Amino acid sequence: MKGYRSIVVLVAALLSASVAVGLQPGAGNATVSASQTVVSIQGTRFLIDGRLTSPGKPAEGQLLNTRMAQAIFDDDNPATVGDWAYPDTHQWDPQRNTNEFLAMLPTYAQHGIRMITVGLQGGCPAHTPPALTCPGGDHPWTVSAFNADGSLKPAWMTRLDQVIRAADHNGIVVMVQFFYHGQESKVADQFTAVNNITDWLVLGGYRNVLVETANECNAGFSSYLDCSNEANVVKQVQDRSGGTLEVTVSFTGGGMPSDDVIGQEDLVLLHGNGQTTQQLSDLINGLKGKAAYQANPKPVVVNEDSVSLDNMNASVAAGVSWGYLDTGVNDYLNGYQSPPVNWTINTDAKRAFFDNALRLAGPNSVATAITYSGATSGDDHDPAAMSARLQDLQGSAVPDVPIDFALGGQTCTGVTNAAGVAACAISPSLAAGTYPLIASFAGTSLLQPSRTTASFAVTREEAALAYSGDTSVALGGTAHLAASLREDGQSAIAGRAIGFTLGAGASAQTCTAATDASGNASCAISGVNQPFGPGEVRATFAGDTVYQPASTSAASMIFAYLPAGVFVIGEKPASGTSVTFWSSQWAGLNRLGGGSAPAGFKGFAAWASLPACGAGWMTRPGNSEAPPAPLPPYMAVIVASNVSKTGSVVSGDTAAIVIVKTDSGYAPDPGHPGTGIVAGVICP
């Protein structure tokens, strides 16, 4: 409170505020409540809650700020409101705009922002030429918290109250900008408007508010708001508020406030728009050298400049608070002044500013937190998707930084995207079990490190067996059994024991072999002793700490070779075909590709060697060599494509060997034919 203002003025102002606000639209939105953030001035420096701002930092005693003029923006002109439509909904939503802004206030505060400028008539909202530009004179859109008679619009006041209270909660000062050129002419009674908004602020009990009566009063305002009258407007707010509000006004970029304004206002606003770093420094030094300023030094604030970090650093070095102005282009991506506004820290320019603000005014570093969101289980050797979200303690995403994931000595690294999520994959090489999975952020000069631990269950990898050994096995012979073990049917699994079983039950015969580097295992069972006919051969992997059990089977066929000689049939028949392998009419019953068989051949070859595909055989004609009896129920039979007689010798080829299930009724006499059904193939 200023010493030259009487307590009587304060009481009168509060009483008049109570009456005036009670008659105003939107008055009910402002109710007195305890403020957590109280801004005050001590000489040329700012205090919040009685303490210098940003203690120990380069911006100590300053209010590093950013121009967020459109935080409570709306457009009452139906013809232009569509210009601000959101790309996802294709509509403008003023409350969504404010809500998204409020959600970012904690993050702004954590980066050292101590003030925001919010406009009751916004700022120039159009920065997408040629369709959207700010014309000289009146703007086509209607962007104002004031009605023409100076009364307040309830919806605007509701949003302003939300912003001031949220800023208060986060230790941020709100500079409330009353008028903006191009909109002020829509308010016929500007004097009443000033009184009404002043009363509203006083009745609200806000202690974290500064007032900017007009943005750039030399930009073409009416006579009431023109710079030549602004000392009176500033005094009007000061007197009306009873000294509870600190009040100022701004001039255009590079403009020097007049002596009467400097003498009346509580703090001095400078604008650095269009100014080089040297020009801004000269402007600051010029202000400090003015007699009007030296007579009553007070804080200096640049509450509108550019995205220039050089200007920011020079201003702070001169002891002057600095304000970020990022206009954008109405694309819901860039900037903070062109609706629809993306209020997040989502561009290089925004990130650079907030990082610098953190360095100049914020805590030494921003605390972060990681939330793991990836897989919590996976097969050994299979890629498992790791993901985690990095955020500050207010929940805002931290983009473009690496997150490391560690599982049992294996690691991968992902970089956070715009949503703060990083992802990569680890293929565990671990025994089945539960292991700690650690996601960690190493930190930067401005961001504190953080980590989180989750439990990850490594499950046994799937294994697959494929059988490739013998399936047709001669009784008393040797069965060569083989199989391959693969991970997910692809990669070879070496060094694992594979058990083979031929047959079933008490008569089953077994052998075991280990897989080689190619995942193949083979062993042999000699002296096969299994029931004739169809059976099964099975390969089994019992599993271990890395791989799940696996097994496979194949249909087997147990047959016998005759103790001496072999029966012959004609062209290879399909499985299940009835054949005649012994008969006095053999030559007429069996077709041969190489011509007719000798009439004297009855189907039995008294050949000493076991039959083999591709080998020849021979025998004497007729019935001179009697076949054996009885026959095995399943026996090997030659398939010939050519049978011929030379002299007394009959010979032929072995195109294939099949297994025939023999029928009853056979006898060694060719008058008792030998017939059967093809049940399997031995070769080829």
Tens digit of pLDDT for each residue in 138-194?
999 999 999 999 999 999 999 999 999 999 999 999 999 999 999 999 999 999 999
Question: What is the pLDDT, as a whole number, of residue 394?
Answer: 64
Average pLDDT over every residue of 85-94: 98
Judge whether residue 622 has pLDDT over 80.
no
Question: What is the pLDDT, as a whole number, of residue 15?
Answer: 34
Reported confidence tier of residue 576, pLDDT bands at 50, 70, 90: very high
Mean pLDDT (the chain) is 91
- Side by side, the strands of the sheet bearing 533-541 are 472-474, 550-559, 533-541, 497-502, 509-514
Average pLDDT over every residue of 515-538: 96
Contact 143, 74 (CB under 8 A): yes
Compute the distance between CA of residue 436 and CA of residue 428 in angstroms, rounded to an integer: 12
Reported confidence tier of residue 495, pLDDT bands at 50, 70, 90: very high
Tens digit of pLDDT for each residue in 436-492?
999 999 988 678 899 999 999 999 888 999 999 999 999 999 999 999 999 877 889
E-strand spans in 94-203?
115-119, 173-180
CA 181 to chain centre: 44
Which residues fall within 8 angstroms of residue 89, CB to CB, at 6 or more apart? none
Question: What is the pLDDT, as a whole number, of residue 205?
Answer: 96
- Percentage of residues in the chain having pLDDT higher than 90: 80
- Percentage of residues in the chain having pLDDT higher than 70: 93
Tens digit of pLDDT for each residue in 381-425?
889 999 999 998 667 888 989 999 999 999 999 999 999 999 999
Biggest CA–CA distance in the chain, Å, is 148
115-124 burial, b for 16+ CB within 10 Å, e for fewer? bbbbbbbbbb
Q: Has this prediction a pTM greater than 0.75?
A: no
Question: What is the pLDDT, as a whole number, of residue 8?
Answer: 30
Reported confidence tier of residue 6, pLDDT bands at 50, 70, 90: very low
Average pLDDT over every residue of 287-291: 97
Helices and strands per DSSP (H, E), number in the chain: 11, 37
Question: What is the pLDDT, as a whole number, of residue 68?
Answer: 98
Question: What is the pLDDT, as a whole number, of residue 20?
Answer: 36
Reported confidence tier of residue 33, pLDDT bands at 50, 70, 90: low
Which residues fall within 8 angstroms of residue 6, CB to CB, at 6 or more apart? none
Average pLDDT over every residue of 517-525: 97
Question: What is the pLDDT, as a whole number, of residue 670?
Answer: 87
Question: What is the pLDDT, as a whole number, of residue 594?
Answer: 81
Tens digit of pLDDT for each residue in 209-241?
999 999 999 999 989 999 999 999 999 999 999
- C-alpha distances (whole Å) from 155 to each of 72, 94, 95, 124, 191 are 9, 9, 9, 20, 21
Judge whether residue 539 has pLDDT over 60.
yes
